[in-house]
């Protein structure tokens, strides 16, 4: 499939920390098969943070969505069943921010070309979708 054709994949995952590794490896395979190996390292980091947040901070299932839009935008997103907004990113560099928790969205903000979130409601289910984009 040429790099100029759009595509999208969704991976539905249980609320299980092992899903983070499954998501990361699946993403690597998708990008490699589509000739986007140059994006793999950063995309894996971003997906890991998004999926990890979805699994750690919610009680229900989650999903990873990966979408390529020509001429060169990769969107990575994680859906979860909690409609509450994600915690705002912590700004790196302050002594009080040395804790291991709470740095995921700051990594996303720092490494992605853009990111955001929006609430979702479908078939009576509520949740949110947190996404980021990489220019390819």
State which of 5-14, 83-92, 104-113 shows the largest mean pLDDT: 5-14
Alpha-carbon separation of residue 78 from 74, 88, 119 (angstroms): 14, 16, 12
Give the start-end residues of each E strand in the chain.
7-13, 62-69, 73-80, 114-122, 125-135
Q: In the chain, what is the straight-line distance between the N-terminal and C-terminal CA atoms, in Å?
A: 16
pLDDT band at 122 (very low <50, low <70, confident <90, very high): confident
User: Could you tell me what percent of the chain has a pLDDT over 90?
Assistant: 68
Phi and psi angles of residue 105, each rounded to the nearest 5 degrees, phi first: -70, -25
Q: What is the pLDDT of residues 30-73, one digit of tens each?
A: 999 999 999 999 999 999 999 999 999 888 899 999 999 999 99
Q: What is the pLDDT of residues 80-101, one digit of tens each?
A: 999 888 887 766 565 555 555 5
Average per-residue pLDDT for the chain: 88
**The pLDDT of residue 134:** 97
User: CA-based angle 109:110:112, to the nearest 5?
Assistant: 65
**The pLDDT of residue 96:** 55
**The pLDDT of residue 6:** 96
Which pTM was predicted? 0.87
């Amino acid at each position: 499939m040429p790099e100029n054709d759009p595509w999208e994949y969704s991976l539905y995952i249980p609320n299980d920390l092992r899903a983070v590794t499954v998501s990361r490896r699946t993403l690597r395979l998708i990008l490699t098969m589509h000739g986007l190996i140059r994006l793999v390292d950063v995309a894996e980091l971003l997906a890991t943070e998004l999926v990890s947040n979805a699994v750690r901070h919610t009680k229900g299932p989650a999903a990873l969505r990966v979408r390529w839009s020509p001429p060169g935008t990769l969107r990575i997103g994680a859906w979860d069943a909690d409609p509450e907004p994600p915690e705002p990113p912590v700004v790196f560099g302050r002594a009080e921010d040395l804790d291991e928790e709470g740095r995921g969205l700051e990594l996303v903000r720092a490494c992605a070309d853009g990111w955001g979130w929006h609430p979702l409601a479908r078939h009576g289910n509520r949740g949110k979708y947190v996404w980021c984009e990489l220019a390819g």
